[in-house]
């Protein structure tokens, strides 16, 4: 893992805390520019925060891939395009290749083939958006390196949108060479664009919005004051298109949601089939969020739907089986639902460990899970009160943290 050796300040080192920029534009109508990657889970929490800012009379704009963002945002949202045709063309191929990787190989691929190239591809668009929109604050996802670089070059206050709690546990602490390699990639990106005063672009020195709390992450008391643990920023639930009568026909039986987010491919199909075998004969009703044909012959107590109104549906569930995606985990815990987590890659093993440490769920093996193992885990979280009690404690912590409203409060204080 060679390359230019650079020194990036530690997350909690003395250089991590900077003086808050002077306040400006004290009245309503400030401008907030959200920079997001083409990843649904990274966009969803920011939509709720942006909506709250809009309700307060502020102007909000987005910068990213227009075709990706338009279906996720309110109609008429202001979007500045920041993409490169060559990068966009190979993005789907890169995603499919990444799905086949695990561990350090997946991490290296993520940085070399996605995060760093995305940063370079977005630089011109982000620069144009900042010039045209003139934001008072730039809000940047942790995987968008371009936005904090542009903000630093132009002297604009910027905030980090941390849509996963994994980075707050230093997941690579046990692999110091890998951790340093990641920091070198971040440092090299800044040097490539004329910044020599290097910082870790994943953590703003003005404000870090973490969409979780200590009830899931663990002790957060040692983080600097500009780290705001606001809890999940949930979008407004929608009734959506769903056969609610099918749930009612269950006669009060426990209900389970099984979802792998946007994960697909042969491994995902295998997991869904295993999950179908696991719930076959159980006294539950299970909703699988999966493409048509994933489970060729589902048992009578399983309903397979490609899309569901998840936030509304969760209020009718008793437990959730998922891959450990931060959004799904937090949405489930916000409703006090215990989990069975089958982590695959990236931050998911970290999130799964957090769920177990909180006492709110059980981890199973994604690639090697057998129906009996999955059934036993699901029966345990459904039958033992301790798991539901732990999930309820996390839910109370999330509610107290303030979510989108607290995030909007902190963003307003930057202007």
Q: Give 33-46 as a DSSP string.
A: EEE--S-HHHHHHH
Contact 342, 355 (CB under 8 A): no
pLDDT score, position 10: 42
pLDDT score, position 100: 67
Q: Is 99 helix (H, G, I), strand (E, B) or coil?
A: helix
Angle at 354 between CA 350 and CA 358, to 5 degrees: 170
Instruction: For residues 304 and 196, state if they share a domain.
Output: no
pLDDT tens-digit readout, 188-225: 999 999 999 999 999 999 999 999 999 999 999 999 99
* CA–CA dist 113, 140 (Å, integer): 20
pLDDT score, position 239: 62
* CA–CA dist 363, 322 (Å, integer): 10
| Within a domain: 414 | no
Instruction: For residues 267 and 382, state if they share a domain.
Output: yes
Contact 225, 40 (CB under 8 A): no
DSSP label at residue 75: T
Which residue, 264, 168, 265, is CA-closest to 221?
A: 168
Instruction: Tell how strand 207-210 and strand 158-162 pair up.
Output: parallel
Domain CATH number, residue 301: 3.40.50.2000
Instruction: For residues 259 and 344, state if they share a domain.
Output: yes
Find where tokens 């090299």 sit: 188
Instruction: For residues 58 and 166, state if they share a domain.
Output: yes
- Write out the two tokens for 51: 């909506």
| Within a domain: 230 | no
| Within a domain: 340 | yes
pLDDT score, position 88: 77
DSSP label at residue 15: G
pLDDT tens-digit readout, 97-129: 766 667 777 888 889 989 999 999 999 999 999
Instruction: For residues 178 and 37, state if they share a domain.
Output: yes
Terminal alpha carbon distance of the chain: 40
| Within a domain: 9 | no
Angle at 354 between CA 353 and CA 356, to 5 degrees: 65
* CA–CA dist 141, 20 (Å, integer): 20
End of a domain among 167, 186, 210? 210
End of a domain among 210, 228, 258? 210
φ/ψ region of 368 (left if φ > 0, alpha if ψ in -120 to 50, else beta) reads alpha
Structural domain total, the chain: 2
pLDDT score, position 17: 37
Range of the domain at 364: 244-400
Sheet order of strands, 361-363 included: 302-305, 285-289, 255-259, 319-322, 339-341, 361-363
By percentage, how much of the chain surpasses pLDDT 90?
72
For the chain, which residues score pLDDT lower than 50?
Answer: 1-26
pTM: 0.88
Find where tokens 């979280």 sit: 381
DSSP label at residue 98: H
């Amino acid at each position: 893992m060679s390359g230019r050796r650079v020194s990036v300040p530690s997350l909690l080192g003395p250089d991590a805390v900077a003086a808050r920029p002077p306040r400006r534009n004290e009245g309503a109508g400030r401008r907030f520019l959200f920079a997001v990657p083409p990843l649904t889970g990274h966009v969803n929490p920011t939509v709720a925060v942006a909506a709250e800012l809009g309700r307060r009379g502020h102007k909000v704009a987005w910068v990213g891939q227009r075709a990706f963002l338009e279906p996720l945002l309110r109609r008429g949202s202001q979007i500045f395009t920041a993409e490169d045709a060559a990068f966009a063309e190979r993005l789907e191929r890169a995603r499919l290749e990444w799905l086949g990787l695990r561990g350090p190989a997946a991490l290296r691929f993520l940085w070399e083939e996605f995060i760093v190239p995305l940063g370079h591809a977005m630089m011109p668009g982000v620069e144009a958006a900042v010039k045209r929109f003139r934001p008072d604050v730039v809000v940047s996802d942790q995987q968008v390196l371009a936005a904090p670089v542009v903000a630093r070059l132009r002297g604009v206050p910027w905030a980090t949108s941390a849509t996963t709690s994994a980075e707050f546990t230093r997941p690579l602490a046990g692999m110091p060479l890998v951790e340093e390699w990641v920091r070198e990639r971040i440092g090299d990106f800044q040097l490539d664009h004329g910044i020599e005063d290097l910082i870790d672009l994943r953590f703003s020195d003005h404000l870090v919005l973490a969409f979780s709390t200590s009830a899931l992450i663990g002790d957060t008391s040692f983080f600097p004051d500009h780290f705001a643990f606001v809890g999940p920023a949930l979008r407004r639930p929608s009734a959506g298109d769903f056969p609610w009568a099918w749930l009612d026909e269950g006669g009060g039986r426990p209900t389970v949601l099984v979802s792998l987010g946007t994960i697909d491919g042969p491994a995902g199909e295998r997991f869904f089939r295993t999950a179908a075998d696991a719930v076959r004969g159980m006294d539950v009703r299970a909703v699988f969020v999966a493409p048509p044909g994933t489970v060729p012959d589902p048992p009578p107590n399983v309903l397979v739907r490609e899309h569901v109104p998840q936030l509304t549906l969760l209020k009718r569930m008793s437990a959730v089986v998922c891959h450990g995606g931060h959004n799904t985990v937090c949405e489930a815990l916000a409703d006090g639902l215990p989990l069975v987590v089958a982590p695959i890659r990236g931050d998911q093993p970290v999130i799964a460990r957090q769920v177990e440490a909180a006492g709110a769920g059980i981890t199973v093996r994604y690639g090697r899970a057998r129906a009996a193992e999955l059934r036993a885990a699901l029966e345990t979280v459904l039958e033992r009160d301790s798991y539901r009690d732990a999930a309820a404690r996390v839910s109370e912590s999330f509610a107290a943290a303030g979510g989108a409203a607290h995030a909007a409060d902190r963003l307003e204080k930057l202007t």
